[in-house]
Amino acid sequence: MKEVISIIDSNRENMVRPDGIAVIGRDGKIIVFNEAASRITGFKEEQIIGKHYRILFRKSPDESTHISDSLAKNIALPNLSVDITNRSGSEKNVLGSITPIVRDDEVTSVVFVFRDTHEMLTLSQELQQKTSELIDQRNKLDAIFNSNIEGTFTIDNDWTVTSFNNSAERITGFRKNEAVGRKCWEVFRSRLCRNGCHMERTIMKGKPSVENELEIVNKNGTIVPIRVNSSILRNNKNEKIGAVETFMDVSELRNLSEHLRERFRYDNIIGRNKEMERVFTLLDSVSQTDTTVLVTGESGTGKELVARAIHLNSSRAKGPFVALNCSAFAESLIESELFGHERGAFTGAVKTKAGKFEMAQGGTLFLDEIGDISLPVQTKLLRVIETRQFERVGGNKAVKMDTRIIAATNKTLPDEIEAGTFRKDLFYRINVINIHLPPLRERMDDFPLLVNHFISSFNEKFGRKVARFSPEAYDLLTSYNWPGNVRELENVVEHSFVLSGQDVIAPECLPERIRRPSKAESVKTLSTIKGAEREIIVGVLKKHSGSRVKAAAELGMNPSTLWRKMKKLGI
């Protein structure tokens, strides 16, 4: 009987087993009936203990012979499909086994263990469904884990790598099967590894680490700068089981940052013209202050280039540079773009949105084509500049502004004020310092510098070795009026690079408008060139107190040639 009690106790401890157990004595009476047996048959323990086992086979008496055979013949009968009769009188198919209990070579009882086949099928289906759900969940987690653009890995408390995603493979050069199972310092090989690195602080102190930058050595031996975040991993008992780290290759970001700083250096604003020298002087002074600046000039003269140069050479360089072309938005939208809006502020405002002022906090807001803003919006903009705070459209909470404003326009704002389309008080607010960029036709003495600059730039971009424009092509370039200014010149040089396969760009590679200008444009261009030439000669003559010999030497021409030009230009 001790063996039987042991079986029953084991079954009670293992509640996940659905086995019904009935122990039947030699006299055929039931002496043990567990909870699972009661559930399957409907008989309570007190209703069936002491009853003959045939009570379970009322409708199928032939099935009871398995138990009588086991009692009489001392045989075990496994994997039997048996129909039993439950308390309500219904038949139920069970899968069972019968095992005799023997003492002194005599069968004293048998143990009938059985399961409801329908219940087994249901449990199997539920188990299959749960397994499928777990697999789906695992696949989703794996997809998220591996689709992350950041490298992600985990370690246990012994610093052993336990998982390693696809981005981690890409950044480090180590495959997952190479990294998992190794110590993290064997994979990342940073000089900070085991020397106070962020993961050490996270594991030891249990505190997350955010936005740390360090350099690792990838599998190929290349140094890779990364930005990392780390945090403790805990199990469902809140016990520390390791740490997780995400990291990003920031070499491209560093290159971009260096490229931007290189592109927007002062000396990339090309020019030796006296007006451009004045611009450089102003840039040096303005960058050291937080003063509001108005940049004026025709389209294509480089107003945004100047604004970015001011920003990147100022104390706000680490803050955002946010640009807004005021002419690109309808009047009904420009206010939302500038100040943002609250959810429900107007039709289509399905969620709260930050405006450009808010996005530029701590940095610079560049308002290009400010002359195109309507008078009502000008009024609100003036108030923001004066009070240094603003409210979102549809909101009532004031937001303090920590933003430098640089505005630009290709319009003559005093004329706009006179016409009643621009507020005088706003003009005075934004025009604290005015930087005016002259059009290209008024600084043709800078033309060779600009052309050479763009040739060098596109050689680097396209991997070419273009040396110059042919004399004929260059003459066409200098004869053109350049209504699109420096931006148009840059586009023309790029156009020529695309069409030319030679080291010297021929005239046929130039756009048609330059190769065949209209008569009116040719006359206008000729007049502009003569004016620029006259200005240059007059300037050199003044420099040398009217000496034609010294002036001719500086201009690289014969004194008699200079004299003829002076007569022709009326000097």
**Residue 570: strand, helix, or coil:** coil
Q: What does the pLDDT look like over 226-279, one tens digit per residue?
A: 888 889 988 888 888 999 988 888 775 555 445 444 444 445 577 777 788 788
List the alpha helices (DSSP H) in 362-446: 375-387, 413-418, 424-430
Is 376 part of a structural domain of the chain?
A: yes
**Residue 228: strand, helix, or coil:** strand
Please tell me whether residues 14 and 97 are part of one structural domain: yes
In the predicted model, is pLDDT for residue 199 greater than 90?
Answer: no
Query: How far apart are alpha carbons 379 and 373 in whole angstroms?
Result: 10
Is 173 part of a structural domain of the chain?
A: yes
Pairing of strands 293-296, 433-436: parallel
Q: Token digits for 283? A: 């840039």
Please tell me whether residues 359 and 446 are part of one structural domain: no
User: Residue type at 119?
Assistant: E
The distance of Cα 202 from the centroid of its chain, to the nearest Å, equals 25
Average pLDDT on 305-319 reads: 88
Stated pTM of the model: 0.48
Question: Could you tell me what percentage of the chain is helix, strand and coil, using 3-state DSSP and rounding each to the nearest 5?
Answer: 50, 20, 30
Q: What is the CATH number of the domain that holds 563?
A: 1.10.10
Q: What does the pLDDT look like over 423-438, one tens digit per residue?
A: 999 999 999 999 999 9
pLDDT of residue 259: 47
Query: How far apart are alpha carbons 563 and 545 in whole angstroms?
Result: 15
Degrees (nearest 5) of the Cα angle 83, 86, 89? 100
- Higher-pLDDT residue of 22 and 205 is 22
Domain closes at, from 436, 452, 469: 436
pLDDT band at 288 (very low <50, low <70, confident <90, very high): confident
Q: Token digits for 194? A: 């085991």
Please tell me whether residues 272 and 414 are part of one structural domain: yes
Cα Rg of the chain (Å, integer):
44
Matching residue, tokens 């408390």: 157
In eight-state DSSP terms, residue 437 is P
In the predicted model, is pLDDT for residue 201 greater than 60?
Answer: yes
Please tell me whether residues 410 and 541 are part of one structural domain: no
Please tell me whether residues 114 and 154 are part of one structural domain: no
Burial 110-131 (b: 16+ CB within 10 A, else e): bbbbbbbeebeeeeeeeeeeee
Please tell me whether residues 245 and 268 are part of one structural domain: no
Is 143 part of a structural domain of the chain?
A: no
End-to-end CA separation in angstroms for the chain: 132
Q: What is the CATH number of the domain that holds 485?
A: 1.10.8.60
pLDDT of residue 221: 86
Judge whether 250 and 226 are in contact, CB under 8 Å. Answer: yes
Average pLDDT on 204-211 reads: 81
Is 133 part of a structural domain of the chain?
A: no
Please tell me whether residues 33 and 112 are part of one structural domain: yes
Which of 343, 305, 327 has its CA nearest to residue 450?
A: 305
Q: What is the CATH number of the domain that holds 19?
A: 3.30.450.20
User: Residue type at 278?
Assistant: R
Please tell me whether residues 337 and 423 are part of one structural domain: yes
Q: What is the mean pLDDT of the chain?
A: 84
How much of the chain, in percent, has pLDDT values that exceed 90? 45
Is 131 part of a structural domain of the chain?
A: no
Please tell me whether residues 508 and 543 are part of one structural domain: no
Q: Token digits for 163? A: 């998982």
In the predicted model, is pLDDT for residue 404 greater than 90?
Answer: yes
pLDDT band at 346 (very low <50, low <70, confident <90, very high): confident
Domain that residue 404 falls in: 264-436
546 exposure class (CB count in 10 Å sphere: 0-12, 13-18, 19+): exposed
Is 137 part of a structural domain of the chain?
A: no
- Higher-pLDDT residue of 115 and 146 is 115
pLDDT band at 13 (very low <50, low <70, confident <90, very high): very low
In the predicted model, is pLDDT for residue 449 greater than 90?
Answer: no
178 exposure class (CB count in 10 Å sphere: 0-12, 13-18, 19+): middle
Query: How far apart are alpha carbons 483 and 143 in whole angstroms?
Result: 54
Is 385 part of a structural domain of the chain?
A: yes
Domain closes at, from 208, 229, 254: 254
Is 134 part of a structural domain of the chain?
A: no
- The widest CA-to-CA distance across the chain, in whole angstroms, is 144
Please tell me whether residues 374 and 474 are part of one structural domain: no
Domain closes at, from 436, 459, 479: 436
Please tell me whether residues 310 and 249 are part of one structural domain: no
Which of 446, 450, 448, 442 has its CA nearest to residue 535?
A: 442
Please tell me whether residues 382 and 268 are part of one structural domain: yes
Query: How far apart are alpha carbons 375 and 313 in whole angstroms?
Result: 33
Q: What is the CATH number of the domain that holds 349?
A: 3.40.50.300
* Total domains in the fold of the chain: 5
Q: What does the pLDDT look like over 502-547, one tens digit per residue?
A: 999 999 999 999 988 655 454 455 555 566 677 778 878 888 888 8
Helix axes 303-312, 251-263, angle to 10 degrees: 120
